[in-house]
Amino acid sequence: MLDPANIPPVSRDELLARFVISSNHIRGSNNTVKPDAFIPHPRLELSLTRHLAATEDELWKEGERVATIRSKTLYGRADVLAEAFEAEDLTVEAKPILENPNHADAINWPADKAQQKMKATEIASKSHFVPSPS
């Protein structure tokens, strides 16, 4: 994981993970991610984890932590480049937290749910689902 004392800004070619903790966010027929996985709720920020300087094991441990906090099951993660958010006029900012120095938020979402869905649909189409190893 990143050194909490030295957090670089998110670059557009950086790989990000959105943890999938709802089975409704995956299409079982082809293991693709549905747009709802990328809709910010209940806030207008979408929580992500940066791959930068993280091992696979560290990424999965963070996903398990997130799932446990929310009393959910970790189904996997949707990996997507930061540029997919930028293409939708969103910004990805480093927002380290104590438990996860690699935490980031996708911000500048519109308040309108229909507009959020349009942006999320484009982002989801550029993502890749990685099933949980456990």
The sheet with strand 91-94 has its strands ordered as 91-94, 103-107, 46-50, 15-20, 76-81, 128-131
Q: How far is CA 39 from the centre of its chain?
A: 10
Q: Is pLDDT of 41 > 90?
A: no
Question: Can you give the pLDDT at residue 93?
Answer: 98
Question: Can you give the pLDDT at residue 46?
Answer: 98
Residue 9 in any domain: the answer is no
Provide the domain limits for residue 49.
Answer: 15-131
According to DSSP, residue 24 is labeled G
Q: Is pLDDT of 56 > 90?
A: yes
This prediction's pTM = 0.96
Residue 10 in any domain: the answer is no
Residue 65 in any domain: the answer is yes
Q: How far is residue 48's CA from residue 43's CA, in Å, rounded to a whole number?
A: 13
Residue 4 in any domain: the answer is no
